[in-house]
Amino acid sequence: MIEFDDVQDLVSPVVIAAFEGWNDAADAASAVVDHLMAVWDATVIGAIDPEEFYDFQVNRPMVGTDDHGHRRLTWPTTRIAIASPPGLHRDVILVRGIEPNMRWRQFCAELLAACDDLGGELVVTLGALLADAPHTRPIPVTGTATEPELVDRLKLEQSTYEGPTGIVGVFSDACVQLDIPSASYWAAVPHYVAQPPCPKATLALIGALEDLLECSIPLGDLPEDSKAWERGVDELAEEDEDVADYIRALEETRDTADLPEASGEAIAREFERYLKRRDQD
């Protein structure tokens, strides 16, 4: 059982979850929750007991000094935070942690029980995978959902992936088994720049969340960080002709595959986000 500090009743909360590890290429997904915790001034209210789920030789505790100069040991875990974002007429439960090393089903059951205790009405999981995507084009984000209304409104597709899965897949499946409404978004990170961070992929996932929540999310330095990241990859590619040729081939494949109407829809969505941010400012 996850014990909470004193928490008032939340308003129609949506759960947004991301986990470091296999599901989190370039830390793009977990960086979204980190960003949301910062811009929404989230409060951590509880954490899962790491003793049951983590191998401390794989995910070691960290020792350091706190703001008061005291030595502190921080254990790997998964934390739950809450926020009341301005402009969103519902509260948010943020789940941020590390893919567990054992007892995945119990791990998911405890987290979902905690979210249920807090009144969570929709679970949104975030992930990132390495893919044949050029860094010079918009980062592809694929989404799935169990709710017909979300599928229709956001034009989501049924997942056709078959193969190994991580904690995000198990967590999403647990939602289905418990009949909890859920959605999942995955960003495709260019595999030739797999090292974290990837602010462009983080930004793409935030855009998908804005569409789902129908609200504007403060972006902070992410747009500039994304441009700087892209310039940095451009410079690296210029130093290696083979890499530059490979990227050009990916660009041609991507541009050929993108239908004009699909590009038009993407432009329209981005313009709608811009208008919402302008109105909020």
Tell me which residue of 22, 218, 223, 35 sits closest to 130, measured CA to CA.
22
CB contact set of 248 (below 8 Å; sequence gap of 6+)? none
| Neighbouring-strand partners of residue 154 | none
User: Secondary structure of the chain in the HEC alphabet?
Assistant: CCCCCCCCCCCCCEEEEEEECCCEHHHHHHHHHHHHHHHCCCEEEEECCHHHCCCCCCCCCEEEECCCCCEEEECCCCEEEEECCCCCCCCEEEEEEECCCCCHHHHHHHHHHHHHHCCCCEEEEEEEEEECCCCCCCCCEEEEECCHHHHHHHCCCCCCCCCCCCHHHHHHHHHHHCCCCEEEEEEEEEHHHCCCCCHHHHHHHHHHHHHHHCCCCCCCCHHHHHHHHHHHHHHHHHCCHHHHHHHHHHHHHHHHHCCHHHHHHHHHHHHHHHHHHHHHC
State yes or no: pLDDT of 271 exceeds 60.
no
Q: Long-range pairs for 150-157 at CB < 8 Å and ≥24 separation?
A: 150/183, 150/212, 154/211, 154/212, 155/265, 156/183
CA torsion, ordered 134, 36, 9, 109, to nearest 10 deg: 50
Q: Are 1 and 110 in contact (CB under 8 A)?
A: yes
Residues 59, 185, 167, 83: is their CA dihedral positive or negative? positive
159 pLDDT tier (thresholds 50, 70, 90): confident
State yes or no: pLDDT of 261 exceeds 50.
no
Amino acid letter for position 264: G
Amino acid letter for position 83: A
CATH 3.40.50.10900 fits 14-280, yes or no: yes
The domains of the chain are located at 14-280
Which tens digit of pLDDT belongs to each residue from 34-53?
999 999 999 999 999 999 99
Could you identify the residue written with the tokens 């996850």? 2
Which tens digit of pLDDT belongs to each residue from 52-97?
999 999 999 999 998 888 889 999 999 999 999 998 999 999 999 9
275 pLDDT tier (thresholds 50, 70, 90): low
Amino acid letter for position 7: V
109 pLDDT tier (thresholds 50, 70, 90): very high
